[in-house]
Amino acid sequence: MSDDHKKGNENVHTDFSNRMTYGEYLGLEDLLSAQKRLSPHHDEMLFIIIHQVSELWMKLILHELHAATEAIRENQMQSAFKMLARVSSIQKQIIQAWDVLSTLTPAEYMEFRDQLGQASGFQSYQYRMIEFALGYKTPHVLKIYKKDPDLHKRLNEAYRAPSLYDAAIGKLSEAGLPISAHLLDRDYTELYERDSTVEKAWSHIYKNVDQYWDLYQLGEKLVDIEDSLQQWRFRHMKTVERIIGHKKGTGGSSGVGYLKKVLDHRFFPELWDVRTTI
């Protein structure tokens, strides 16, 4: 080794007999041994890793969304904006993951698809919790998780909790903007539907940006997140169509047909409508 190469490395720790290593801190032994193929086919490893990585990103999205919702309630808006901006950055990573999965051809996928049985991304409980956190409450999906009582309880709690958008609407009211009373103490298990008072409030904010700068920023952060989520859904739909066409999903859904349908849902409808009305 040259002297130049040695410089700066002479103090690197090499004795870890009584110290925690990088691998131990990250739990890499468990993490890297979690890819258990059910077939001998080479490309099943790609399928498993893409979905596991996406689930890790979703775990971080939930971590940030829950903290951002609480920060909004406590009027810590700058902290909330930082967290929501991070969510948008994470979403870019998940969207790009579809490009990698798209390298899986129909013939390759069919080599191991039967091994999945009825297991499907449709059953991703973290994705459901993200939908719940954003206000999209669908009670029928809870049945999927009855097999695990603890998980079912967690999902029920998320299902009944106010969403990020509920917290945002609460801030509109606190700012003195007239909001329908029933929205401020509503049944959070019900699917949110657009409300004229919320649309008028956002319209007023977007016409008076300097006066409502924090709320204007909040509205744009919400639009960023929904925009990215819809891009994720679109890439999901196109990847599924590319690999299995219009076959039914392994979980029993209509596959591409179902994925196209959910593209029509809007999480924050008034924030999209206001773009037309202002």
Q: What is the 3-state secondary structure (H, E, C) of 16-43?
A: CCCCCCHHHHHCHHHHHCCCCCCCCCCC
User: CA–CA separation, 4 vs 236, rounded Å?
Assistant: 49
- Asked if residue 158 belongs to a domain, the reply is yes
Do the domain assignments include residue 17? no
Mean pLDDT across the chain? 92
How high is the pLDDT of residue 12? 78
109 marked as binding residue: yes
Higher pLDDT, 255 or 270: 270
pLDDT at 249: 62
Summarised one tens digit per residue, pLDDT across range 60-85 is 999 999 999 999 999 999 999 999 99
Q: What is the CATH number of the domain that holds 236?
A: 1.20.58.480
pLDDT of residue 252: 63
Q: Read off the DSSP letter of residue 12.
A: -
**Residue 48 annotated as lining a ligand binding site:** yes
Any domain includes 221: yes
Q: Is residue 100 part of a domain?
A: yes
Distance CA 170, CA 176 (A): 10
Task: Note whether 119 and 259 are within 8 A (CB).
Answer: no
Question: Rounded to a whole number, what is the distance in angstroms from the first to the last CA of the chain?
Answer: 67
Alpha-carbon distance of 106 to 51, in angstroms, equals 17
Least confident of 79-83, 119-123, 199-203, 219-223: 119-123
pLDDT at residue 137 is higher than 70: yes
Question: Residue 13 has what pLDDT?
Answer: 77
Residue 50 known to bind ligand: yes
For residue 32, being part of any structural domain is answered with no
Q: What are the pLDDT digits (tens) for 10-30?
A: 677 777 788 899 999 999 999
Work out how many domains the chain is built from and give that number. 1
pLDDT of 162: 96
pLDDT at residue 6 in the model? 59
Mean pLDDT of 165-194: 96
Spatial distance between the Cα atoms of 71 and 74, rounded to a whole number of angstroms? 5
Give the residue numbers spanning the domain of 197: 42-245+253-275
Known binder of ligand: residue 140?
Answer: no
Q: How confident is the model at residue 262 (pLDDT cuts 50, 70, 90)?
A: confident
Find out whether 236 is annotated in a ligand binding site.
yes
pLDDT on residue 271 = 98
Residue 15 within a domain: no
Task: Give burial (CB, 10 Å; 0-12/13-18/19+) of 271.
Answer: buried
Of the candidate ranges 7-11, 223-227, 272-276, the one whose mean pLDDT is the lowest: 7-11
Higher-confidence residue: 259 or 203?
Answer: 203
Is 250 annotated as belonging to a binding site? Answer: yes
Residue 182: predicted pLDDT:
94
Question: pLDDT tens, 33-56?
Answer: 999 999 999 999 999 999 999 999
Q: Is the pLDDT of residue 3 over 70?
A: no
Task: Determine whether the annotation assigns residue 113 to a binding site.
Answer: yes
The tokens for 255 are: 């596959």
* Residue closest to 229 by CA, chosen among 259, 187, 257: 259
The answer to the question of residue 141 being in a domain is yes
Among left, alpha and beta (phi > 0; psi -120 to 50; other), residue 253 is: beta
User: pTM of this prediction?
Assistant: 0.90
pLDDT in tens, 204-261: 999 999 999 999 999 999 999 999 999 999 999 999 999 988 877 666 666 788 788 8
The answer to whether position 12 is within a domain reads no
